[in-house]
Amino acid sequence: EITKEQQVLMQAILKAYERHQIPQDVAKRLLHDQYSAEENFLLLTEMATSQVQVLVEFTKNIPGFLSLDHEDQIALLKGSAVEAMFLRSAQVFNRKTPAGHTEVLEERIRKSGISEEFIKPMFNFYKSIGELLMSPEEQALLTAVTILTPDRPYVKDHAAVERLQEPMLEVLKKLCTLHHPHEPQYFARLLGRLTELRSLNHYHAEIITSWRVN
């Protein structure tokens, strides 16, 4: 059973998650089909910036986050931004979109100058997230858990971060049991995605390098 306290925590995170989305006008521009390689690159860069801003606004509303040391807040966001963005993109990608939209989006990513060997694991990840059929609560909590990972570089007060992450993991675990009573491995599968995200984060650093070379 989910306690009242856990309910409050979950609702606060869900509310923040749903309130902070990429602005519609920015998202819409992704679907305009005429663009040069340079325009594509600039738009994707702008999207990424917008995603980081949205991510920070969401994170500020995670109960307890702003009570952490300021430099630790930055270290956590810096260490998790790429992973949180991949999670959010996966959800956008798996959402039911009007016919053709997914293709336009996929085309853009493929034309971004990222080499195929990096794109493949990314789309595989999107697919594996889609297969989980997460509820909005699970998505929001998983993102919060990702951001509040204590072992990011430059985080000083690991214990303080752990104290925030632990209750979120507990609620997430309970939710998984309630939502997926016939899948005892569901929670473990969610955690497995976090490992996959770590690899993508590592890939991302290489993508940046290859982009610079290009």
Partner 1 sequence: PASNLGLEDIIRKALMGNLEE
Report if residue 26 touches partner 1, rule: CB under 8 A: no
Q: How far apart are CA 191 and CA 202, in angstroms?
A: 17
**Residue whose CB is less far from partner 1, 58 or 93:** 58
Interaction pattern, residues 52-71, with partner 1; x per rule: CB under 8 A = xxx-xx--x---------x-
**Residue whose CB is less far from partner 1, 65 or 187:** 65
Q: How far is the CB of 57 from partner 1 (least distance, A)?
A: 5
**Residue whose CB is less far from partner 1, 164 or 169:** 164
Residues whose CB is less than 8 angstroms from the CB of residue 86 and which lie 6 or more positions away in sequence, other chains included: 122, 125, 197, 200, 201
Q: How far is the CB of 53 from partner 1 (least distance, A)?
A: 5
**Residue whose CB is less far from partner 1, 15 or 127:** 15
Tell me which residues in 36-55 interact with partner 1 (CB under 8 A).
Answer: 49, 52-54
**Residue whose CB is less far from partner 1, 182 or 212:** 212
Q: How far is the CB of 15 from partner 1 (least distance, A)?
A: 13
Tell me which residues in 137-156 interact with partner 1 (CB under 8 A).
Answer: none
Asked if 51 contacts 22 with a C-beta cutoff of 8 angstroms, the reply is yes
Nearest by Cα to 180 from 111, 131, 147: 131
Per the rule left: phi > 0, alpha: psi between -120 and 50, beta: everything else, 64 is left
**Residue whose CB is less far from partner 1, 81 or 122:** 81
Of the candidate residues 8, 31, 104, 208, the single one contacting partner 1 (CB under 8 A): 208
Q: How far apart are CA 85 and CA 204, in angstroms?
A: 11
For partner 1, the binding residues (CB under 8 A) are 49, 52-54, 56-57, 60, 70, 73-74, 77-78, 81, 208
